[in-house]
Chain A
Amino acid sequence: DQQVKQNSPSLSVQEGRISILNCDYTNSMFDYFLWYKKYPAEGPTFLISISSIKDKNEDGRFTVFLNKSAKHLSLHIVPSQPGDSAVYFCAASALDSNYQLIWGAGTKLIIKP
């Protein structure tokens, strides 16, 4: 049973436009969410996180939105740049599971020139 779902395996966006990556979860006990970015042949790198007490967290071009009632979070990248082309993983954790991260399958973002 997938507790964290990224339903879009890939997404193609024009350079300079907004990229929106989506993530849905089923476990209402999740209280911390993270986005990681992964280039080919490299390990994932931490991008941005959000606690369940917030509904928005911003870091430069990256903003994560959390909608707890819908059990949905999204990552917005504005403006999109060629270097943003990568696989983006959403992950979630809960205090009652010792904060072990549960990962989505990833979305491959392709930024077109």
Chain B
Amino acid sequence: DSGVTQTPKHLITATGQRVTLRCSPRSGDLSVYWYQQSLDQGLQFLIQYYNGEERAKGNILERFSAQQFPDLHSELNLSSLELGDSALYFCASSVSGANTEAFFGQGTRLTVV
């Protein structure tokens, strides 16, 4: 158990809909990262928050947004969903803002039908 909790584990939704993925980082970790893994692909970095503020942005679509709350949990919002958004979405956390030795949650598998 990495200490990072992601909910829900599975999500099936229709095209055009909006979903929210939730992440609770390890106790004491200030940084939260979101990654997308499509079928047979590597992990694509989406966005990073550090202590409530956006730290870095990767290949995140405009239809996607995220935030980190005062209690340090984070939410990733995906809207106007398309079939191609079906993927595993991972959250990771680390103590510092340096992206090394991050601890990953088990992921949320999103299926858009």
The size of the chain B interface, using a CB distance under 8 A, is 25
The size of the chain A interface, using a CB distance under 8 A, is 24
Cα(A91)–Cα(B35), bound, Å: 13
Determine which residue in B43, B100, B102 has the highest number of CB atoms from chain A within 10 A of its CB, and name it: B43
Given the contacts A41-B106, A98-B55, A103 and B99 also touching, CB distance less than 8 Å: no
Determine which residue in B56, B90, B99, B106 has the highest number of CB atoms from chain A within 10 A of its CB, and name it: B99
B107 at interface, CB cutoff 8 A? yes
Q: Which of B66-113 contact A (CB under 8 A)?
A: 90, 92, 97-107
In contact, B42 and A101 (Cβ under 8 angstroms): no
Q: Label chain B's interface by main secondary structure.
A: loop
Cα(A34)–Cα(B42), bound, Å: 14
Q: Kindly list chain A residues whose C-beta atoms are within 8 Å of the C-beta of B55.
A: 98
22 residue pairs A–B, Cβ–Cβ below 8 Å = A4-B42, A9-B40, A43-B2, A43-B107, A45-B103, A46-B101, A91-B43, A93-B99, A98-B55, A98-B56, A98-B97, A98-B99, A99-B98, A99-B99, A100-B48, A100-B99, A101-B100, A101-B102, A102-B45, A103-B43, A103-B45, A106-B42
Question: Which residues of B pack against A, CB within 8 Å?
Answer: 2, 4, 40-45, 48, 55-56, 58, 90, 92, 97-107
